[in-house]
Amino acid sequence: LIKTGSLNPIHRGHISNMIKTKKYLEEVHGFNVIGGYISPTHDHYVRGKLAHQCIPGVDRIVMCQKAIEEEQQQHWLSVDKAECMG
């Protein structure tokens, strides 16, 4: 699974959505979801959208990692840094 977006900031709803989607795919459709990625959008886009309220990408990455850990989902969910840092 992949979740993209500004994630400025990430919140519990983002993580909850990933957990619920994984559960739905596994329980209803019999999929075995082995991984999920949270992919924050690059700073140029976020600055254009939010101007001075833009949280720098490196900080959004850390916030995403901490949100995953807080929900104890690091066994299948991780942060993809490619878009944000690319």
Q: For the chain, 86 residues long, give each residue's pLDDT as a single digit of tens.
A: 999 999 999 999 999 999 999 999 999 999 999 999 999 999 999 999 999 999 999 999 999 999 999 999 999 999 999 999 97
**Contacts with 60 (C-beta within 8 Å, 6 or more apart), sequence order:** 6, 7, 8, 9, 10, 40, 46, 84
**3 state SS of 5:** strand
Question: Which pLDDT value is given to residue 30?
Answer: 98
Tell me what pLDDT residue 86 has. Answer: 79
Q: What is the pLDDT at residue 19? A: 98
- pLDDT at site 70: 97
Q: Which amino acid is at 44?
A: H
